[in-house]
């Protein structure tokens, strides 16, 4: 039986543990809070994140990372992108040679501008053939109800991707493999930033033309960055690109979309942060994505506009006017 350690009891870690258990894996969930972990182990409910969901009874929960990781075929990492480096530094000595590391995270590290798979390879000292990325239109709240969804399982080594594809394939969750790790990760990280922009438009009372424009031009700037970083442009037309962008930008379940909507309605950044209990990765990753783009000479005007609103306190109306006033240009360059 495939053995999986899921590191993180947030909404996606918890739902992914359910997927793995439904797919027939033996699953141990690691969390940092003893009380919550005890309750999950005893009642099979994560009362803080998914109080309506009864988890498969076979899932064990623990605060003991060594116990969770012992004998694991896959260590599935699901913590906020900006804490991964510190978390993994503690776990790395406990990870056994047969264990492949799987990233569920969608972000770019501040300062280093590294993608999550790069942070994993560096901190755990493993080669790309042991790092897997899962990315796609996967709103945890919908998958918790076992609603049908698909995703991409990406790894430089296709055989490892296929092994994890099998480990997480259920009647409601359909994983496709891909070897374009860069494209899949960029799709996931940048869509959170575009989700913030679309949320802002929504909060400002703007309609579907504006939102479709932001989605389409957002994908254009994601693809531009991806091409420079060596991604396959086809990835951005797939589940980890357009698929995830559409889900995030359409759904009130998206934390990034909701965060943007609150800003667009006129809430201050401090009020919006106070109203957000879960991780909205785009809030931090907008800065690291822009940093990554600038280091590579790539223009990302929508990402820049989001940074202006979120981190420079510029009014949404003014920033939108600036975007529209950019010089006219051909659609494809």
Q: Which stretch binds ligand 13P (CB under 6 A): 84-92, 152-160, 251-259, 296-304?
A: 251-259
- Choice among 191, 211, 321, 329 that is catalytic: 191
81 makes contact with ligand NDP (CB under 6 A): yes
What are the φ and ψ backbone dihedral angles of 3, each rounded to 5 degrees? -110, 125
Instruction: Dig out the tokens for 105 from the structure.
Output: 């995270």
Nearest to 305 by CA among 172, 228, 181, 210: 210
Q: What is the dihedral of CA 126, 130, 133, 134, to 10 degrees?
A: -140
Among all residues, whose Cβ is closest to ligand NDP? 10
10 contact, one of ligand NDP, ligand 13P, none, CB 5-8 Å limit per kind: ligand NDP
Nearest to 116 by CA among 174, 76, 158: 76
Question: Which sign does the torsion angle of CA 269, 271, 275, 277 carry?
Answer: positive
192 makes contact with ligand 13P (CB under 6 A): yes
User: Any known ligand binding at 208?
Assistant: no
> Cβ of residue 220: shortest distance to ligand 13P, in angstroms?
20
103 makes contact with ligand 13P (CB under 6 A): no
Q: HSE on the CB side for 112, CA within 13 Å?
A: 16
User: Any known ligand binding at 284?
Assistant: no
Site for ligand NDP in 146-175 (CB under 6 A): none
> Cβ of residue 70: shortest distance to ligand 13P, in angstroms?
30
Q: HSE on the CB side for 269, CA within 13 Å?
A: 14
From 115, 224, 255, 284, residue interacting with ligand 13P (rule: CB under 6 A): 255
Tally helices (H) and strands (E) across the chain: 15, 8
248 makes contact with ligand 13P (CB under 6 A): yes
Neighbours of 327 (CB within 10 A): 4
Q: Which stretch binds ligand NDP (CB under 6 A): 17-25, 31-39, 177-185, 235-243?
A: 31-39
From 49, 74, 91, 259, residue interacting with ligand NDP (rule: CB under 6 A): 49
* 191 tagged catalytic: yes
278: left (phi over 0), alpha (psi -120 to 50) or beta: beta
User: Any known ligand binding at 106?
Assistant: yes
What is the distance between the alpha carbons of residues 155 and 106, in angstroms, rounded to a whole number?
15
The binding site for ligand NDP (CB under 6 A) comprises: 8-13, 31-33, 49, 78-81, 83, 87, 104-107, 138-140, 278-279, 281
Q: Which residues bind ligand 13P (CB under 6 A)?
A: 106, 137-139, 192, 195, 244, 247-248, 254-257, 281
Active-site residues, by number, are 191
């Amino acid at each position: 039986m495939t053995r999986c350690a899921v590191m993180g009891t947030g909404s996606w870690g918890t739902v992914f543990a359910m997927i793995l258990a439904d797919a027939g894996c033996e699953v141990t969930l690691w969390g940092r809070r003893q009380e919550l972990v005890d309750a999950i182990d005893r009642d099979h409910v994560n009362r803080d994140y998914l109080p309506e969901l009864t988890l498969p009874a076979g899932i064990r929960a623990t605060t003991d990372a060594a116990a969770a990781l012992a004998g694991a075929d896959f260590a599935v990492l699901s913590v906020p992108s900006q804490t991964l480096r510190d978390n993994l530094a503690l776990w790395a000595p406990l990870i056994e040679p047969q264990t492949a590391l799987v990233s569920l995270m969608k972000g770019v590290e501040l300062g280093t501008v590294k993608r999550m798979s790069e942070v994993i390879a560096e901190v755990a000292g493993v080669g790309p053939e042991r790092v897997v990325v899962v990315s796609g239109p996967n709103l945890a709240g919908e998958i918790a109800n076992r609603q049908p969804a698909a995703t991409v399982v990406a790894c430089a080594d296709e055989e490892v991707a296929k092994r994890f594809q099998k480990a997480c394939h259920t009647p409601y969750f359909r994983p496709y493999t891909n070897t374009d790790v860069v494209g899949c990760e960029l799709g996931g990280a940048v869509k959170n930033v575009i989700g913030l922009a679309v949320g802002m438009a929504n909060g400002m009372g703007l309609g579907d033309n504006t939102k479709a424009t932001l989605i389409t031009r957002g994908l254009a700037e994601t693809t531009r960055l991806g091409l420079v970083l060596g991604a396959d442009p086809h990835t951005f037309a797939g589940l980890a690109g357009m698929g995830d962008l559409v889900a995030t930008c359409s759904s009130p379940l998206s934390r990034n979309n909701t965060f943007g909507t609150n800003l667009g309605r006129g809430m201050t950044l401090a009020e919006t942060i106070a109203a957000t209990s879960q991780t909205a990765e785009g809030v931090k990753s907008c800065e690291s994505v822009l940093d990554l783009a600038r280091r590579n000479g790539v223009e990302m005007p929508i990402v820049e506009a989001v940074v202006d609103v979120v981190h420079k306190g510029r009014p949404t109306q003014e920033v939108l006017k600036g975007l529209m006033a950019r010089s006219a240009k051909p659609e494809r360059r």
